[in-house]
Amino acid sequence: FPLPPAKLAGGWTVKHSKQPVQLSIEERFLKMKNSRFLRQYYHPLDRVEARAAVFSELQSYWSIPLKETAVVAGLTVSKGSNLLEDWIHVLATNPLTLYTMKPSGENIQELSLQGLLSPVRGAHPCYSLTPLDDGSKLLVHEETSNGLALVDLVAGRSHNIPLLSTFESAKGSFARTLGTNIGNWHMRTNMLSQHGVMVLYENGGSKVEVVNVEAMTALAFSLPFNISSVNLSAIDRWLVEDTTSNKYLLTKANLTDPCPSVLNPIENTCDSNSLGYIISCDSENLSYDILSDVLKQKLSAPSRVICTEDTYAAIAVGFPELDRTMNELYFWPRQKKLQTQGDFENTVILRDCGQIIHAVTSAQVPKEVMKKDKGHVPVSGYLEIVDLLNEKLRYLPVPQPHAVSPVTSWMYSTSQLPMYLAAGSNQGVVTVDAGGCVRLWETALFSLEKSLEEWRQMIGSERKYLQITRDRTSGLDVKAPKHGKVDETGAPHVGGNTWAGGTGGRDTAGLGGKGGPYRLDAGHDVHQVSQAEKDAVPEHVKKAAREMAQKAFKQRLREIQMSEYDAKLYNQFSDAVSRQVQALRVILNSLQAKSKERQWMRHQTSGELDDTKLIEGLTGEKTIYRRRAEKEPEMGAPQTKPKRLKLVVDVSGSMYRFNNYDGRLDREMEAVVLVMESFQGHEGRIQYDIVGHSGESHDITFIDHKSPPVDNKQRLDVIKTMHAHSQFCMSGDNTLEAAQSAIASLSQEDCDEAIVIILSDANLSRYGIPAERFARILTSDSRVNAYAIFIGSLGDQAAT
């Protein structure tokens, strides 16, 4: 949907009076209570790649093993190098439990926090989470009681940090019992990572607490009005709004002050009804380029993105640094007020791509979205993406949870189920729904374009190929194989036996025909004759075609050996895997020993008498023997023998035949380049062979571990040879024989670890080969770790 055009709402002017309001600040020291150990459990993380078949903004998802009565209560992210390396933390109540996981990891850590924080009796508990330090620690805040706890994820311990005295805590509880309306305490953590400071304020009250978790001190002050929100627009300038929509700028009296204490009212020329109450305010500037593009004027000024309940977004230009002049306020108006889902945070600002993301219910999206999604998977809500840079408004449906606890069903209606949002690395977004399903999203357009290009290279294009099957015979006989005439115009030719590069014909080089000498792809749609007609070709014609193909293959090999290095051609394959090469080389640098060696095992109860323990034997000690046994290597032990890898690639005719369909041969050649480039310089740690299998043979050597390629010319010759073999080889399948041969050859070698990787286009059923037989071969020798990667996409054979 198009985003409504931006409007100039008016301006904010900070009023600097001669006698500003100076707040009285009280400082006190905090003392953590004794730590306690937390019960830990680990569950497998079963991450589903959402882009395995269809490309969308959803990258992956998995479910958390929630308790039967659990209610999801919070989400935060400790950012890493990318979204898959982020640490994601989900808090659930009933009982209070913390789940921590890394998307690229294998486990979900569960920590029991039951009894750590005590919400006020009779009040709906509300929690906030925020990472501390490098993400190894978390702060958990309970809003009704203003309770704060520190959780050490590595040590598995927790500490309570009392913010209120026992008397104040009892006074607050007593006031609630009498029915006095006391607001929850909200937490702001924008400055926590850089300055170690977090701010707590009483919503609807007047109290503010500034907690320094590094120095373990707290600064407390009261404002002369009831607070609606406090936003940390900068470390020394805070935007404060009261319950009557008046706004103030809280600044420092001196630069060295620990927190702002001077209250300056803001003269607001904007219509209060056009903005509504402030939900959140960013703490850093938009880049000047994005600011200029969004507002369509050249600007080089401070700015803050502001989210309010009556706007899609607002931008205060000049705020908060230029507080001596009027700050212009631009906004994008909403037709309906944004309804926040409860008391939890459901807004994310992605500053670097100019997006604001809200979690909204189905009732808050345009009717056109609901009509489009009718009949599809039921949704629990939507992600509303306000793209200021591209002037677009997008809605991403979030599927309904498979199941929610009875407590969640009692607390929320089906249309109002909570969903929590958090910003991840590289402009990623993380959500968790009421059923405990964690999802990773990518919404930035420039990131989506890049990911789509990579997805198309790996998976293939999204267009569906139409296949029409006619069950009939051509009625035409084959004569003698030949290359055929070359049509300089490049026009497609179907049937016949005149032109080279045609499809569905006979005698000539092409695709989908019969009786031709070898395959030749001219880039046209393929017309395929039946397998029965191909099998009916006389043996003398097959023999002549085979001899012609062998002659052409030998000529092609001579051309490859004599050709000069083509850097442009090689870079097409090398550039596609350059990032993967870097990642794999990092892994190779950290390889450690895995082979077991026979060593003397001491302190045994049986075996050969250990001469060094004779005295212990006299005193009655029983573990005085030693014996020879295989011993597991210590963690991080260096290799004494090289690891051995045999990569078995598929160079059968089907790889060439269907390369134009899904790029399978190109992707396989990229994988070979990945291996050759990554392993260069690691020959002492890992030695590799690359062999091929086709209808011609099960053991076609492309690279021997004794003489790996040393430069790009040799590596290019390897993939050229693979391509040529796939073009000129006989039809047939030797996948099983290739796997058996590779496993048998490595099992005889003395190495640290033996690995066989078999690439196949999974075209087994054509030759009557059951997938179960292949599986038995892969697991036939425990000394060899064998893996199969299916790269075709014509059927479901890989799944079987």
For residue 4, give the DSSP letter.
P
> First-to-last CA distance in the chain?
43
Q: Report which secondary-structure segment, H or E, holds 451.
A: helix 445-458
What pLDDT score was predicted for residue 418?
84
What pLDDT score was predicted for residue 720?
92
Which of helix, strand or coil describes residue 607? Answer: coil
Question: How do residues 415-442 score in pLDDT, each as one tens digit?
Answer: 678 889 999 999 999 999 988 999 999 9
What pLDDT score was predicted for residue 448?
92
Rounded Cα distance between 286 and 303, Å, is 6
Sequence-distant (≥ 6) Cβ neighbours of residue 472 within 8 angstroms: none
Angstrom distances, CA of residue 129 to CA of 70, 150, 279, 407: 17, 10, 18, 22
What pLDDT score was predicted for residue 373?
61
For residue 115, give the DSSP letter.
T
Question: How do residues 328-381 score in pLDDT, each as one tens digit?
Answer: 999 999 888 876 654 456 889 999 999 999 998 888 888 888 766 655 667 888
Rounded Cα distance between 700 and 697, Å, is 6
Task: Classify each residue of 752-785 as buried b or exposed e, where b means 16 or more C-beta atoms within 10 Å of its C-beta.
Answer: bbbbbbbbbbbbbeeeeeeeeebeebbeebeebb
Question: How do residues 449-498 score in pLDDT, each as one tens digit?
Answer: 999 988 887 765 545 555 556 666 666 676 777 777 777 777 777 777 77
Phi, psi of 409 (to 5 degrees): -65, -35
Task: Classify each residue of 256-295 as buried b or exposed e, where b means 16 or more C-beta atoms within 10 Å of its C-beta.
Answer: eeebbbbbbbbebebeeebbbbbbbbbbebbeeebbebbb
Does the structure show a pLDDT above 60 at 195?
Answer: yes
Q: Which domains does the chain have, with CATH numbers?
A: 467-562 (no CATH), 567-591+639-790 (3.40.50), 597-631 (no CATH)
Q: Report which secondary-structure segment, H or E, holds 455.
A: helix 445-458
What pLDDT score was predicted for residue 593?
47
**Confidence class of residue 797 from pLDDT cuts 50, 70 and 90?**
very low
Rounded Cα distance between 786 and 775, Å, is 10
Rounded Cα distance between 392 and 4, Å, is 9
The residue type of 282 is D
Does the structure show a pLDDT above 70 at 792?
Answer: no
Rounded Cα distance between 423 and 431, Å, is 9
Question: How do residues 498-521 score in pLDDT, each as one tens digit?
Answer: 777 777 677 777 777 777 777 777
Does the structure show a pLDDT above 70 at 173?
Answer: no
What pLDDT score was predicted for residue 798?
46
Question: How do residues 599-631 score in pLDDT, each as one tens digit?
Answer: 667 777 777 877 777 777 777 777 777 777 655
Residues in the chain: 800
Q: Of the given ranges (443-452, 559-568, 570-579, 763-772), which has the lowest mean pLDDT? A: 763-772
Report the side by side order of strands in the sheet with 48-49: 48-49, 58-63, 437-442, 428-433, 419-423
What pLDDT score was predicted for residue 688?
92
What pLDDT score was predicted for residue 135?
78
Does the structure show a pLDDT above 90 at 101?
Answer: yes
User: Cβ atoms within 10 A of the Cβ of 49, count?
Assistant: 10
Q: Residue 108, Cα to own-chain centre: how many angstroms?
A: 16
What pLDDT score was predicted for residue 59?
94
What pLDDT score was predicted for residue 555?
83
Q: Of the given ranges (450-459, 593-602, 770-779), which has the lowest mean pLDDT? A: 593-602
Rounded Cα distance between 588 and 675, Å, is 11
Q: Is 326 exposed, middle or buried (0-12, 13-18, 19+ CB in 10 A)?
A: middle
What percentage of the chain has pLDDT greater than the value 90? 38
What is the average pLDDT across 267-296? 88
Does the structure show a pLDDT above 90 at 589?
Answer: no
Output the CA torsion sign for 603, 607, 610, 615. Answer: positive
Q: Of the given ranges (265-274, 442-451, 534-543), which has the lowest mean pLDDT? A: 534-543
Longest dimension (CA), the chain: 108
Phi, psi of 798 (to 5 degrees): -65, -35
For residue 509, give the DSSP letter.
S
What is the average pLDDT across 203-213? 92
What pLDDT score was predicted for residue 274?
76
Q: Are 226 and 243 in contact (CB under 8 A)?
A: yes
Does the structure show a pLDDT above 80 at 133?
Answer: no
Question: How do residues 392-412 score in pLDDT, each as one tens digit?
Answer: 999 999 988 888 888 877 777
Tokens of 66: 């929630």
Q: Of the given ranges (109-123, 158-172, 220-234, 247-261), which has the lowest mean pLDDT? A: 158-172
Q: Is 121 exposed, middle or buried (0-12, 13-18, 19+ CB in 10 A)?
A: exposed
Does the structure show a pLDDT above 50 at 166?
Answer: no
**Confidence class of residue 793 from pLDDT cuts 50, 70 and 90?**
low
**Confidence class of residue 685 from pLDDT cuts 50, 70 and 90?**
confident
Tokens of 383: 């992600």
**Which residue did the predictor score with more confidence, 57 or 683?**
57
What is the average pLDDT across 109-119? 90
**Which residue did the predictor score with more confidence, 161 or 164?**
161
Q: List beta partners, residue 131.
A: 138
According to the per-residue pLDDT averaged within each range, which of 135-144, 529-538, 620-629, 660-669 is highest?
135-144
Rounded Cα distance between 552 and 364, Å, is 67
Q: List beta partners, residue 187.
A: 200
What pLDDT score was predicted for residue 354?
92
Phi, psi of 566 (to 5 degrees): -105, 95
Mean pLDDT for the chain overall = 83
What is the average pLDDT across 689-702? 91
